[in-house]
């Protein structure tokens, strides 16, 4: 049957012999794509009397939404917290390289830096769609400098700041601009943080709690002001205590605004979080878990010395430390590795592991109508994976942008 071209001249591609992750289940269906969007085949058949122009046999692969990494500090020798005039080429390199890890969209993340770095770097970050050139950029994640000295982790102490009288103006002066900013991580116990959270939320910016010594009531208050995320749960915050569980207590708090879901990032690399802690968090609040890499410039490079913003870090296997210390500083894990480790550590379903890296980050950012699912009319950003969750191919807007080379295998 010839395609009906009355609606669009664009070719229709039908992906066959696959299991699609849709509505939290792997379903044996075909995936239909046209003009970068996922088509409803019923509408195509009955309203347009159309059919596929191209059929692709997926050889029983899993098809899942593309991964979304909302916390990545760099990789492949590129450090997003280092100001250079050629910053854009660094973003381009990382966005190209992470396609092989299944990442189709990401938030370049800057750790605590001097204002001059934000002023130089942020104007060079622009929100853009993904494609053959690389993964899409959703906006920057600014982790600091409004964080706790006690829980600074790998962040340089001399660059930390507090909120003074004109708190939001302080923040604007520090960053220079919020035009391309998607997430800000701050410590909610800081004085005047409430007004800052409200102002950021009003502008559509996601506020995340992290690098903090906040108690539970301070964390709950921050969520009441609009905060919706926790930066790398368990890391750089007070440890869980039964009388005051701190930020960790948000996972089961009953004092959150009605209908508000709190999401939390987890670095599932086998280093930052013990598998038992991963299991506890997942069982307590499975719908809020967002896998992040927290990857640094050394991801994809040999062990040795690399940078994280103003600090020198040493990579030893999967461990990354501030040089000369045992302070963990980001990770060198890739997103597909984190997904596999998460599934193995928690024993969760394949669907759950895949959604923690796709649907949940999309919901966190409020973009689930177009990213993070394979629903009809959403963006055709998706992966083909084998049953062990190794990425075989990456597609953005329905176009293949990376494929595993199997010739040498």
Please give the DSSP secondary-structure letter assigned to residue 268.
Answer: -
- Is the pTM higher than 0.85? The answer reads yes
159 plus 50 within the same structural domain: no
409: in domain = no
Give the pLDDT band of residue 139 (cuts 50, 70, 90).
Answer: very high
Residue 315's beta-bridge partner residues?
304, 320
40: in domain = yes
Confidence at residue 286, expressed as pLDDT on a 0 to 100 scale: 98
287 plus 204 within the same structural domain: yes
> Is 375 part of any known ligand binding site?
no
171: in domain = yes
> Is 330 part of any known ligand binding site?
yes
What residues make up the domain containing 390? 13-64+373-403
**Which sequence positions are flagged as catalytic?**
294
Question: HSE-up of 268 (CA within 13 Å, CB side)?
Answer: 30
> Is 347 part of any known ligand binding site?
no
> Is 232 part of any known ligand binding site?
yes
User: How far is the C-alpha of 257 from the C-alpha of 148, rounded, in Å?
Assistant: 26
147 plus 223 within the same structural domain: yes
pLDDT digits (tens, 9 = 90+) for 293-319: 999 999 999 899 998 999 999 998 888
> Is 340 part of any known ligand binding site?
no
Task: Indicate the number of domains in the chain.
Answer: 2
299: in domain = yes
The answer to whether the CB of 289 falls within 8 A of the CB of 264 is yes
State whether residue 175 is helix, strand or coil: helix
2: in domain = no
pLDDT digits (tens, 9 = 90+) for 359-397: 999 999 999 999 999 999 999 999 999 999 999 999 999
What is the CATH classification number for the domain harbouring 117?
Answer: 3.20.20.140
Q: Tell me how far CA of residue 59 lies from CA of 25, 43, 362, 387, in angstroms.
A: 19, 26, 28, 12
Give the pLDDT band of residue 5 (cuts 50, 70, 90).
Answer: very low
What is the CATH classification number for the domain harbouring 37?
Answer: 2.30.40.10
Neighbours of 402 (CB within 10 A): 23
Residue whose structure tokens are 């060079």: 124
Q: Which helix (H) or strand (E) holds 279?
A: helix 275-284
Spatial CB neighbours of 56, under 8 Å, sequence gap ≥ 6: 13, 14, 15, 16
pLDDT digits (tens, 9 = 90+) for 314-353: 998 888 999 999 888 889 999 999 999 999 999 999 999 9
Average pLDDT, the chain: 94
Q: Tell me how far CA of residue 47 lies from CA of 15, 61, 196, in angstroms.
A: 21, 30, 50
């Amino acid at each position: 049957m010839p395609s009906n071209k009355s609606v669009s001249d664009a070719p229709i591609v039908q992906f066959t012999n696959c299991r699609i992750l849709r509505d939290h289940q792997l379903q044996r269906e075909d995936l239909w794509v046209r003009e970068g969007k996922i088509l409803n085949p019923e509408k195509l058949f009955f309203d347009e009397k159309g059919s596929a122009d191209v059929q692709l046999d997926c050889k029983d692969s899993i098809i899942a939404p593309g991964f979304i990494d909302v916390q990545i500090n760099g990789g492949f020798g590129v450090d997003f917290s280092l100001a250079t005039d050629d910053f854009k080429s660094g973003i381009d390199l990382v966005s190209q390289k992470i396609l092989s890890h299944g990442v189709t969209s990401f938030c370049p993340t800057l750790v605590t830096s001097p204002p001059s770095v934000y002023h130089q770097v942020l104007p060079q970050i622009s929100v853009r769609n993904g494609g053959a050139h690389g993964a899409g950029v959703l906006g920057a994640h600014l982790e600091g400098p409004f964080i706790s000295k006690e829980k600074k982790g790998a962040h340089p102490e001399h660059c930390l700041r507090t909120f003074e009288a004109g708190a939001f103006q302080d923040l604007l002066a520090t960053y220079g601009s919020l035009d391309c900013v998607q997430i800000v991580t701050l410590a909610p116990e800081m004085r005047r943080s409430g007004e800052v959270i409200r102002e950021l939320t009003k502008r559509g910016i996601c506020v995340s709690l992290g690098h903090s010594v906040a108690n539970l009531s301070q964390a709950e208050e921050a969520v009441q002001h609009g905060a919706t995320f926790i930066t790398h749960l368990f890391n750089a915050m007070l440890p869980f205590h039964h009388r005051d569980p701190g930020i960790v207590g948000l996972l089961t708090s009953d004092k959150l605004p009605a209908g508000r879901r709190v999401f939390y990032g987890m670095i599932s690399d086998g280093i930052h979080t013990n598998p038992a802690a991963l299991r506890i968090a997942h069982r307590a609040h499975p719908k809020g878990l967002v896998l992040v890499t927290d990857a640094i410039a050394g991801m994809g490079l040999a062990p040795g010395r690399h940078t994280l913003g103003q600090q020198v870090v040493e990579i030893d296997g999967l461990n990354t430390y501030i040089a000369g210390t045992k302070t963990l500083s980001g990770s060198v894990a890739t997103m597909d590795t984190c997904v596999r480790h998460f599934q193995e550590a928690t024993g969760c379903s394949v669907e759950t592991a895949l959604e923690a890296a796709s649907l949940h980050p999309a919901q966190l950012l409020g973009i689930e109508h177009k990213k993070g699912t394979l629903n009809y009319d959403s963006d055709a950003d998706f992966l083909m994976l084998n049953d062990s969750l190794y990425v075989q191919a990456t597609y953005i807007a329905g176009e293949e942008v990376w494929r595993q080379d199997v010739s040498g295998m």
